[in-house]
Structure 1
Amino acid sequence: MKRLISFALITLVALTFLSCGPKNKEEKLAPELAEDARVQFEKERYKEAIEIYTKLRDWYPFDKLAIEAEYNIAEAHFKMEEYDEAALAYQEFEKLHPRHESIDYIIHQQALCYYNRLDTEDRDQSNALKAFSILTRLVKQYPDSKYVEDAEKEKKDCLKSLASHEMYVGRFYFKSKKYQSALNRFETVLEAYSGLGFDAEANELAGKSREKLAEEPEAK
């Protein structure tokens, strides 16, 4: 009976091991897949590289090369400017490997996925907000990182983008004679985005907005 149980356990272990490896003769070992993917990546054939790295990750999830595959999948998406996909891949990598030696780089790359899409002042500023939030976290968690200097400059760019948007909306309200709404925007610039190059105009237009409000019948 003991021999039968031992045989069953050995068989189960063997089947488990085989299930983690190639499933047919055409499937390659992890090092072979890693080399194939590396070649495609260096040739800037990023889609092909992602396909191979994904196979490596899925077929050999416990191999140390799977971590490299996860890392390079994110990098390949970033290289192709597929920023939504890249951001998700970097976030997943950070979640799975929070103590990785390059985690500060991974966080900075997450931020760049949004920073690289900063839009004009008349457009939605959600990318600026997301980039600023991640960059702030990077600086706080890894103050000695070599990416902090760049992160500080990028944070300032995000704030300028947000301030510019507030000014744009404020001017629109002012021209539309919605002076209270305009004043709120200009005051936001002066309070939250002071020193970014908009103070003089914001002060001037805030003053004019108050004058217009004082002239309105309700104010009298």
Structure 2
Amino acid sequence: MNHKIQHVILLFCIMAFACYGCATLDTKKEKSAKEYADEGMVSFQDKEYKRAIESFQKIKDWYPFSNYLVLADLKIADSHYMLKQYNEAVAAYNEFEKLHPANEAVPYVIFQTGLCYFEQVDTFDRQQATARKAIEIFMRLNKQFPKNIYETKTRECINICYKTLAESELGIGLFYYKSKYYKAALYRFRNVLTKYPDTGVHHQAIIYIARCETAIKK
């Protein structure tokens, strides 16, 4: 077999493989971007959030330049939020804001990001970190979009976070006080007054400040 024939055979094999690859890719794209979007929205409305993520992810994977990409990015984040997969939701919302900074949904995305942290405030071992992060996100939203429709809700959430932080600080102070570490306790009680005034726990902090000062003088 001469070199010319070998070259023809090799070229034929390459073309056949390429055609097979294209056929395989087309087979994977069983539906159009619109069909996947419609399917994803139906799943989301039916609270089938995992299925919704699968449908929207196919748009991201197979139709990255589709007009439905923005919808896919947003609803993937929303689906993770509804599943209480807050870390995944935060990552998805952050990605949306990075990829679509001028989109009209950005205020909503920032608000939802704040909610992801706010929803975790009741988790004792993480409440201080998540409360602070929620405050940071909500304040950024109100600063970046002063007249956003979420302002009233964010103010309520911020106040709850501040109260949570105040109660946590008070609790640490009480622990130190009962352990007779009065200087450490005094520092915590004073923090309640200076950092978190008018949160409903400052009266108790004042009482224990006086007690700590008395104990330290003895």
2:79 aligns with 76
Structure 2 CA distance for partners of 1:171 and 1:123, relative to 1, 3 Å: farther
Distance in 2 separating the partners of 1:151 and 1:38: 27
Structure 2 CA distance for partners of 1:166 and 1:122, relative to 1, 3 Å: farther
Structure 2 CA distance for partners of 1:122 and 1:163, relative to 1, 3 Å: farther
Letter in 2 for 1:137: R
Aligned partner (choices 190, 196, 213) of residue 187 of structure 1: 190
Secondary structure of the 2:163 match is helix
1:206 aligns with 209
Distance in 2 separating the partners of 1:33 and 1:196: 48
- TM-aligned CA deviation for residue 24 of structure 1: 2.0
**Contact 1:131–1:158 (CA<8 Å) still a contact in 2?**
yes
Residues 1:33 and 2:33 aligned together? no
- TM-aligned CA deviation for residue 124 of structure 1: 4.2
- TM-aligned CA deviation for residue 131 of structure 1: 0.4
Residues 1:106 and 2:109 aligned together? yes
Distance in 1 separating the partners of 2:124 and 2:81: 25
Residues 1:24 and 2:26 aligned together? yes
1:51 aligns with 54
**Contact 1:121–1:161 (CA<8 Å) still a contact in 2?**
no
- TM-aligned CA deviation for residue 25 of structure 1: 2.9
**Contact 1:120–1:161 (CA<8 Å) still a contact in 2?**
no
**Contact 1:50–1:73 (CA<8 Å) still a contact in 2?**
yes
Secondary structure of the 2:27 match is coil
Residues 1:66 and 2:77 aligned together? no
Distance in 1 separating the partners of 2:123 and 2:52: 33
1:148 aligns with 151
Secondary structure of the 1:63 match is coil
1:64-106 Cα shifts (integer Å, max 9, x gaps): 1011100000011111111111111111111111111111111
Secondary structure of the 1:61 match is coil
TM-score (norm 1): 0.85
Letter in 1 for 2:167: S
**Contact 2:135–2:161 (CA<8 Å) still a contact in 1?**
yes
Distance in 2 separating the partners of 1:26 and 1:59: 9
**Contact 1:122–1:165 (CA<8 Å) still a contact in 2?**
no
Distance in 2 separating the partners of 1:206 and 1:120: 28
1:98-143 Cα shifts (integer Å, max 9, x gaps): 1111111110000000101112667641110110110110111111
**Contact 1:121–1:168 (CA<8 Å) still a contact in 2?**
no
1:5 aligns with none
Structure 2 CA distance for partners of 1:120 and 1:185, relative to 1, 3 Å: farther
Q: Alignment RMSD, CA only?
A: 2.0
Distance in 1 separating the partners of 2:153 and 2:42: 30
**Contact 1:122–1:168 (CA<8 Å) still a contact in 2?**
no
Gap runs ≥5 in structure 1: 1-14, 216-220
Gap runs ≥5 in structure 2: 1-17
TM-score (norm 2): 0.86
Q: Percent of pairs identical after alignment? A: 39
Distance in 2 separating the partners of 1:86 and 1:168: 31
Q: Counterparts of 1:84-103 in structure 2 under 5 Å? A: 84-103=87-106
**Contact 2:120–2:126 (CA<8 Å) still a contact in 1?**
no
1:3 aligns with none
Q: Which moved more, 1:86-95 or 1:158-167?
A: 86-95
